Structure 1
Amino acid sequence: MPNYFAYGSNMSQDQIRARCPSHKFICAAELPGYKLAFTRYSSKRECGVADIDPAPGQSVWGALFEVNDEDLAKLDRHEGAHLSPPAYVRVQVQVAASDGGSLDAITYEVLDKAAAEHSPNVEYLSLILDGARKWGLPQAYQETLRRFEDQSER
């Protein structure tokens, strides 16, 4: 079964359970060479939504799950990977597991990134923060996520 690296709202336990009933949590994981960005506006959520953007020397933390192929196909639909043009595209990445090992995973990246970022709203960020707490992402990274929340309240 493939590994899926969730870094946005799919870290929410309720959302991952609804979208991927087969999911099994493996560990908190770090994706080096990227930063968390909000390069896509979601009309459904009415705010900016999470993306990974290449950034040497930075990293994005998230939750690594094992999911079956059927659930991965469901994720493709939820992430708009089936659209033409796609909202997100499936990409292969290598993440660093919390025990220091390296694992292959699938994640999603925005294809057509906006020149300027869109602010996420408090409701969307709460899904990300809830997941970060639930899966034990580092406190320093959780603080970084909370700074996005402060920006969205302005």
Structure 2
Amino acid sequence: MIVYFAYGSNLDKEQMQNRCPSSCFLCKALLENYKLAFTRKSTKRGGGVADIVESVGSRVWGVVYQLDERELELLDKREGYDPNRKKNMEKNCYIRKELTVCMDGYERKQIMAYAYQVQEPSSSHIPPSRKYLNQIISAAEFWGIDPEYIEELKSISVSCD
């Protein structure tokens, strides 16, 4: 089984079930020394889309799902990642990294999980659409993620829809 850390719209249980039907929620998780940012523009989403950016002392809440290998390939496709692109000089939208996350936010309960990070991030904030950000907020509330973190999400500036 593959372990995947979701922090953006893939927090949404329904979206993950549609993308990866056999995905199974494992736990809430905390990624330390990264911050949530919106560094890539998506025409489909109508604004910036979520990314994780290294930032000492910051943290990103998300959830961990278990997937099978076939579904990881499907998720790679959805996230614009192809491990073979390096060979033919095309660029990926996201790269897949293996990171250490803290299960349920406890530092002593760590697990390695895959996560996606924007390959060529913008250096400035690209405001997400209200709809996209609300999807992330609703999913965070559904999973019972830290209320303080949810308030941070609610304070993110959005694009003019």
Q: TM-score, normalised by structure 1?
A: 0.95
Q: CA deviation at 1:133?
A: 1.0
What residue number does 1:18 align with?
A: 18
Who is 2:155 aligned against?
147
Question: How many Å apart are 1:153 and its aligned residue?
Answer: 6.0
- Which residue does the alignment assign to 2:144? 136
1:126 matched to 2:97 = no
Q: Give ranges in structure 1 of 5+ residues lacking alignment.
A: none
Other-structure match for 2:93: 87
* Two-structure CA RMSD over aligned residues (Å): 1.2
Once residues 93 and 29 of structure 2 are traced to their aligned partners in structure 1, the CA distance between those partners, rounded to angstroms, is 24
2:41 corresponds in structure 1 to 41
Partner of residue 98 from structure 1, selected from 99, 104, 111: 104
| Alignment-mate amino acid for residue 68 of structure 2 | N
Return the letter of the residue paired with 2:152.
T
- Aligned partner of residue 81 in structure 1, secondary structure: coil
Deviations 1:81-119 (A, max 9, x none): 026200000000000011620011000000101121200
| 1:38-117 equivalent positions in 2, closer than 5 A | 38-82=38-82, 84-98=90-104, 100=106, 101-117=109-125
Q: 1 CA distance for matches of 2:2 and 2:69?
A: 7
Residue 8 (structure 1) aligns with: 8
Which of these two proteins has the greater Rg computed from alpha carbons? 2
Q: Distance in 2 between matches of 1:92 and 1:13?
A: 22
- Post-superposition shift, 1:46? 1.7
CA distance in 2, matches of 1:124, 1:153: 10
Which runs of 4 or more aligned residues in structure 1 lie more than 2 Å from their structure 2 counterparts after TM superposition? none
Matched residues, number:
152
| Change in 2 beyond 3 A, CA 1:138/1:40 | same
Q: C-alpha offsets along residues 22-76 of structure 1, whole Å, 9 cap, x if unaligned? A: 1111111000010000000011112000000000011100011111111110110
For residues 59 and 5 of structure 2, the distance between their equivalents in structure 1, rounded to whole angstroms, comes to 13
